[in-house]
Structure 1
Amino acid sequence: MLVVQNTPTAGPGRVGPWLRECGLRLEVVRAYAGEPLPGRLDRRALVVLGGGFLPYEDERAPWLPAVRRLVGQALRDSSPVLGICLGGQLLAHVAGGTVKGRHGEPEYGSTPIRLRAGARGDALFGELPAVTPAIERHVDAITELPPGAVWLADSERCPHQGFRVGERAWGLQFHPEATAAGIRDWDTGPLAARGLDRDRLYARALADEPVSTAAWRAFTHRFAREVASKP
């Protein structure tokens, strides 16, 4: 499995160990540090992590064209894809959706993720509770899903929290890999400018963590099963 890391602080987090629990081997490419991305996936699964860029901001992140090519290749080959935050936005963009910067209301901290009708029977979302907390940290948003995408989840402030393209490519706006502890490293300045208190965000996420950990670990294991069943 290829994992693309786009910033130093947005690594695989707890999703990495959860995938390894299922026997998967992860090749993490730190694209932000200049590590080269492969020209081809060779039918491997693909995980694309978050980052503070839009999916088409090539001047700020010159490796993004290579990531977009890999996402497109995975879609053509029906290889499993999991896109998280920026990764989900990249999937939407490559598949024909629309992503806009600083759109709608930003989300920070533990946020209730709500299933939509399309989640019924989905390989990853179908077994989640109707509402599951997950950590958010974004100001950009998917404003239009790709043609034919299945809309899986939303939140109060952001309609496109989860979607699927084809049968095996999932995009998430939220962060299943993130933990409450990470919130303690967030810069308080931008939070205060939005009337948010870091300690309160941390306390809320910590209270939600037993539920969120169980749900997103099982979710990640279901993705691992999809990878294992790849032709």
Structure 2
Amino acid sequence: MPANRAAPSVLVVQNGPGGGPRRLGDWLRADGLAPDVVHAYRGEALPATLDGHDALVVLGGGAMPDDVARMPWLAGARLLAAEALERAVPYLGICLGGQLLAQVGGGRVEAEHGRPEAGSVTLTLRAETHADRLFAGLPERPTAIERHVDAITELPAGAAWLARSERCPYQAFRCGEAAWGLQFHPEVDAARLRTWDPGYLRSLGYEPERVVERAERDEAGAVVVWRELARRFARVMRGG
């Protein structure tokens, strides 16, 4: 990148103290991008528009995507997501951020729906990934970190359904040409799971030690897959 050209800016909405961009932010920086993290949970204000930013990333959080009583800033995040869809600004939504994209696009999300997922989970990529700029050619059954009880129950009309898991059908999808929603957490590494509340995991029906063990076993393969996905998102930002 020429020295006189600013790095493409990625607006990142952080919804909770433990939900930062983590290694995703590192990967985007390594690819020459500039993450601009707004710590919305601290009261930092979201911009009114995406002017000045080349992409939008909305991270996870412990609320439904329209729960503005618990997270008032989600009203602004929804407006930004709608703008990204309208203007074809690249968007990446993770967990809550993916559910937000589904809602804004006209789909449906339900609280405490289906069976919860926590820890490393095997995904199955669908045939629609063959023509997708982020997922094409990735392994057909990658693993990814999950932590959710709410779920997307209906995709927006016309969305490309990209991945599923045994417990949760809508693990990844795309709206239009440049907006992706993920139910899983590519930014979370196995070490992070050691900090998760074991009581909470047991309440979901999981044995904490086994959750950590599987995540550590799957880590090497998972990091290769999701690092590549981040690289491709950076490429989309540059018009590739």
Please give the range of the TM-score, normalised by the shorter of the 2 chains: over 0.9
Match of 1:131, SS state, is coil
- Does the CA-based 8 Å contact 2:160-2:174 persist in structure 1? yes
| Residue 9, structure 1, aligned to residue 18, structure 2 | yes
Match of 1:32, SS state, is helix
The C-alpha deviation readout for 1:118-147, integer Å capped at 9, x for no partner, is 111200011211000000000000000001
Give the 4+ runs in structure 1 shifted more than 4 A: none
Instruction: Work out the CA distance in 1 between the residues paired with 2:110 and 2:129.
Output: 24
Match of 2:214, SS state, is helix
Match of residue 51 from structure 1: 61
The C-alpha deviation readout for 1:161-188, integer Å capped at 9, x for no partner, is 0000000000000000001111111111
More deviation in 3-12 or 189-198? 189-198
Q: Which residues in structure 2 correspond to 1:73-222 (within 5 Å)?
A: 73-222=83-232
Counterpart of 1:74 in structure 2: which amino acid? Answer: A
Instruction: Work out the CA distance in 1 between the residues paired with 2:11 and 2:87.
Output: 15
Instruction: Work out the CA distance in 2 between the residues paired with 1:150 and 1:19.
Output: 24
Q: Normalised by the size of structure 1, how large is the TM-score?
A: 0.98
| Residue 28, structure 1, aligned to residue 37, structure 2 | yes
Match of 2:131, SS state, is coil
- Superposition CA RMSD, Å: 0.9
Instruction: Work out the CA distance in 1 between the residues paired with 2:195 and 2:239.
Output: 38
Instruction: Work out the CA distance in 1 between the residues paired with 2:203 and 2:107.
Output: 31
The C-alpha deviation readout for 1:174-226, integer Å capped at 9, x for no partner, is 00000111111111112222332211111100010000001100111000100
Instruction: Work out the CA distance in 1 between the residues paired with 2:205 and 2:176.
Output: 40
Match of residue 5 from structure 2: none
